[in-house]
Amino acid sequence: MKIFLPVRKSLLAGALLLAATACSKSSDPAPAPAPAPATLYSRLGNVDGVSKVVDSFLANVIAESQTSNSSLKRTFNPLLTSGNAQRVTLLRDNLIDQIGQATGGPLVYKGLTMTAAHKGMAITTQEFGVFGVAFTKALTDNGVKDPEKTELLTIITSLQSQVVGQ
């Protein structure tokens, strides 16, 4: 038995040395923090991506407003036939800011609350649905796929009670 003792001791010393080497030193730099998950805004392509979706959406609203049995004409016609291009531009800018803010971007929405913006329009659930179709088509046409598509549509849908029936 005695003859094996020195060998065991040296094995133990070696193991301790290895363990000590593997441990980090107090002077080692702290591990880098995990990168923050990308915001929906950045996954949509920042202001350029959001603007493309809003432009397609407004084009879809205009196209739908010109169809027979249009659902959006009733509410959007005053805006579209006013000849006031600045009013359309303001709506565009407000939508970009609103979506930009709601998706985690640095944009700041400065427009009316959803309740105030749609006051007196008496928007129906059916009209809200057609608005949603125009918005969904804009996402599809700009190559926005899940999960971003569902995330943004969830944000839009969550505003329904503030828009419908005002």
Q: Does 96 bind ligand HEM (CB under 6 A)?
A: no
d(CA 63, CA 13): 81
Q: Does 87 bind ligand HEM (CB under 6 A)?
A: yes
Give Cα separations from 98 to 54, 94, 107 (angstroms): 11, 6, 8
Strand spans (E) along 21-93? none
The C-alpha angle 125, 40, 59, rounded to 5 degrees, equals 50
Residues 101-140: x where in contact with ligand HEM by CB under 6 A, - otherwise, as a string: ----------xx----xx----x---xx--x---------
**Sequence-separated (6 or more) residues with CB below 8 Å from residue 117:** 111
DSSP conformation class of 26:
T
- Using the rule CB under 6 A, which residue among 50, 53, 58, 72 binds ligand HEM? 72
User: How many residues sit close enough to ligand HEM to count as binding (CB under 6 A)?
Assistant: 20
- Least distance CB 109 / ligand HEM (angstroms): 7
- Least distance CB 58 / ligand HEM (angstroms): 11
Q: Does 62 bind ligand HEM (CB under 6 A)?
A: no
Q: Which of 82, 78, 92 is nearest to 138 (CA)?
A: 92
Which residues here bind ligand HEM, judged by CB under 6 A? 72, 75-76, 79, 87, 91, 94-95, 98, 111-112, 117-118, 123, 127-128, 131, 156, 159, 163
